[in-house]
């Protein structure tokens, strides 16, 4: 078991080191998500006031779209240098490779959210400080579920010619439950009178999805990666 986590940690640290040298994923993901937010704010803010209760939806759309961008690129790197084959050749548990890549994606997406959430609060007057722990838990659980499925699909599609097109086509339908739970839970916290109990219900559902998705991904990673 320690070997499993050692390998996952190694992959995660390596991905961070590569990213620290290139800043490719952080810069594109943050830029894209902020641009997404700005477009929505131009369309939906009238005289300083957001039209309707849209902040939660916009936040999760920006997270999902920028996450897809990051998912595609992180495996594209391994494909360009064919290092994925070197990883698969190592005598390590292959699910540990998956966990390492998942941690890297999760870290990147959470980093993007650290920038995104205050901007949503600023543009759409979302009350992010009223229930900060609930909000953080919803974001963490939702992002984990999304990244768990996305990492598996991105790895599966790494050798496919039409991977850039196929990734969102496969990913979005499967992660609809995660997005819905994330949006509804966050909306419950952002409404005029925040409903913590409702947010907790959606959080519990997200945790359930996380357990299902991570378990399935760990179970299927090795067979789907075998040529």
The nearer residue to another protein, 86 or 216, going by C-beta atoms, is 86
Among 51, 90, 160, 165, binds another protein (CB under 8 A): 90
In the region spanning residues 4 to 23, those forming contacts with another protein, defined by CB under 8 A, are 6-7, 10, 14, 17-18, 21-22
Q: Does 85 bind another protein (CB under 8 A)?
A: yes
CB under 8 A: which stretch of 44-52, 56-64, 85-93, 189-197 binds another protein? 85-93
In the region spanning residues 168 to 187, those forming contacts with another protein, defined by CB under 8 A, are none
- For residues 147 and 67, is the Cβ–Cβ distance under 8 A? yes
Cα–Cα nearest to 103, from 93, 114, 95, 92: 95
How many CB atoms neighbour CB 136 within 10 A? 14
The nearer residue to another protein, 52 or 91, going by C-beta atoms, is 91
- 104 in helix, strand or coil? helix
The nearer residue to another protein, 89 or 129, going by C-beta atoms, is 89
- For residues 136 and 154, is the Cβ–Cβ distance under 8 A? no
Report in angstroms the alpha-carbon separations of 73 from 64, 117, 118, 149, 200.
14, 23, 26, 15, 33
The nearer residue to another protein, 8 or 36, going by C-beta atoms, is 8
Sign of CA dihedral 180, 185, 187, 188: positive
Q: Does 89 bind another protein (CB under 8 A)?
A: yes
CB of 120 to another protein, least distance (A): 32
Number of residues interacting with another protein: please give it, by CB under 8 A. Answer: 23
């Amino acid at each position: 078991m320690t070997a499993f986590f050692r390998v996952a940690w190694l992959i995660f640290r390596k991905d961070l080191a590569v990213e620290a040298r290139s800043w490719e994923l952080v810069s594109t993901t943050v830029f894209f998500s902020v641009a997404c937010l700005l477009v929505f704010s131009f369309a939906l803010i009238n005289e300083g006031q957001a039209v309707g209760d849209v902040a939660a939806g916009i936040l999760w759309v920006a997270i999902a779209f920028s996450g897809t961008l990051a998912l595609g690129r992180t495996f594209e790197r391994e494909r360009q240098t064919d290092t994925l084959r070197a990883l698969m050749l190592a005598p390590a548990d292959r699910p540990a490779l998956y966990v390492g890549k998942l941690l890297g994606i999760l870290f990147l997406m959470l980093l993007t959210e650290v920038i995104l959430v205050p901007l949503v609060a600023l543009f759409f007057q979302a009350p992010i400080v009223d229930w900060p722990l609930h909000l953080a838990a919803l974001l963490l659980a939702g992002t984990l579920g999304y990244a768990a499925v996305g990492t598996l699909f991105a790895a599966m599609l790494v050798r496919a010619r039409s991977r850039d097109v196929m990734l969102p086509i496969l990913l979005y339908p499967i992660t609809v439950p995660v997005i819905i739970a994330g949006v509804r839970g966050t909306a419950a916290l952002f409404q005029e009178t925040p409903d913590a109990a409702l947010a907790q219900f959606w959080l519990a559902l997200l945790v359930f999805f996380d357990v299902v998705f991570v378990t399935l991904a760990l179970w299927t990673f090795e067979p789907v990666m075998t040529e």
